[in-house]
Every structure is written in C-alpha cells, then in structure tokens.
C-alpha cells in the first residue's frame, strides 16, 4: 500500500504531523488527514509540495 507521511514546514524546519496517511481532503483553510487506525486529524495550512517517490506531503502554515 502507499500511505504517506505528512510534515509541516515552519521556519525552514519540518515537523512530522502524521504517518500512514491514506486520504487528504481540503476543507477551506483546513486539511483533513485520514489514516487506517487513527482518528482523523485537522490541521490549518496549505500544501507546499508532494513527493510521490518518497510518499511525503509537505504542508506550510496558512
């Protein structure tokens, strides 16, 4: 399976927000992250980049 790792970039540093993400939904200024065995998580921000080879989504603060 292809789950992703989601990180938040703040001031040049990356902080892991969630692992094994299987779905990502944009809801206004919020992003809903879903994984198989965890509660969904909402974060404020926007997508900065997605690396499909590394299965990584980089967010930045809104």
- Nearest to residue 31, comparing CAs of 10, 57, 11, 13? 57
Q: 9 to each of 3, 36, 62, how far by Cα in Å?
A: 19, 24, 11
**Measured between alpha carbons, how far is 59 from 57 in angstroms, rounded to an integer?**
6
**Measured between alpha carbons, how far is 8 from 18 in angstroms, rounded to an integer?**
10
- The pLDDT score that the predictor gives to residue 54 is 96
pLDDT digits (tens, 9 = 90+) for 19-51: 999 999 999 889 999 999 999 999 999 999 999
| 13 bridge partner residues | 10
CA 61 to chain centre: 12
- The pLDDT score that the predictor gives to residue 26 is 95
């Amino acid at each position: 399976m292809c789950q992703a790792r989601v990180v938040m970039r703040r001031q040049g540093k990356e902080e892991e927000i969630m692992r094994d993400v299987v779905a990502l939904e944009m809801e206004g200024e919020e992003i809903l992250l879903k994984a198989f065995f965890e509660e969904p998580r909402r974060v404020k921000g926007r997508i900065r980049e997605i690396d499909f080879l590394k299965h990584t989504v980089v967010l930045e603060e809104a």
